[in-house]
Structure 1
């Protein structure tokens, strides 16, 4: 049986955009069904996050400390959490999320571009054709 190609999404904001590859998880599937979506960005240290209107349960592999560029879903806030560096609760240089998050995938480009996201920016998430 052939593995399906990863789901590809684009997250855009006024100063730029990043594409990401998502794994085939229940949370990824729920997010894709809600696309396209528009939300308002918030920032927390070196993390951008925003409400998705999608409500899912925490998955077994949920993580609090992740690598920069991880696309994560914060189930407590129904939000995508996009860390690119330390947050206010990080230890040293780690990316520590506000709580355990479902890991959906990774950005294909430089997650440091997320530093151009400003609190209150309009963010758009859409599915890319594969």
Structure 2
């Protein structure tokens, strides 16, 4: 999967789970994202099914996840307001979708809300 934010392109290696397969079927999408600490999140245009996938609240830097409560795509690049020891932590449980394969530090340079975030399948 490819996420494009302005001139920044992030390559995401999707995990083999139900939610990732469900997300792939909805691509391409364009969403708006907001920041919550070192996390960007934005509501997806179409509902993502995550039936049977493991839920957790702690993620790795560079992981991309689904926050089911808001049908939101989340990109973690550092601690969030819910973090305990500096780890990326969701406000409530989510499903890991994949991991960014490149340098996520470029996300620290972005500020505030992001409009026109494009999410597409890898060609």
Question: Structure 1 length normalisation: TM-score?
Answer: 0.85
Q: Over aligned residues, Cα RMSD in angstroms? A: 1.5
CA contact (8 A) 1:48 1:117 kept: no
Are 1:91 and 2:84 an aligned pair? yes
Listed as ranges, the gaps of 5+ residues in structure 2 are: none
Residue 14 of structure 1: CA displacement?
A: 1.4
CA contact (8 A) 1:66 1:94 kept: yes
Q: May I ask how many residue pairs the two structures share in their alignment?
A: 121
Alpha-carbon distance in 1 for matches of 2:38, 2:75: 9
- Gap change, CA 1:59 and 1:88, over 3 Å in 2: farther
Q: Deviations over 1:9-49 (max 9, x none)?
A: 00011141100100121111111111000011111000011
Listed as ranges, the gaps of 5+ residues in structure 1 are: 1-8
Are 1:44 and 2:45 an aligned pair? no
Question: Structure 2 length normalisation: TM-score?
Answer: 0.90
Equivalent position of 1:3 in the other structure: none
CA contact (8 A) 1:15 1:117 kept: no
Larger radius of gyration: 1
Match of 2:100 among 97, 107, 111: 107
- Gap change, CA 1:14 and 1:43, over 3 Å in 2: same
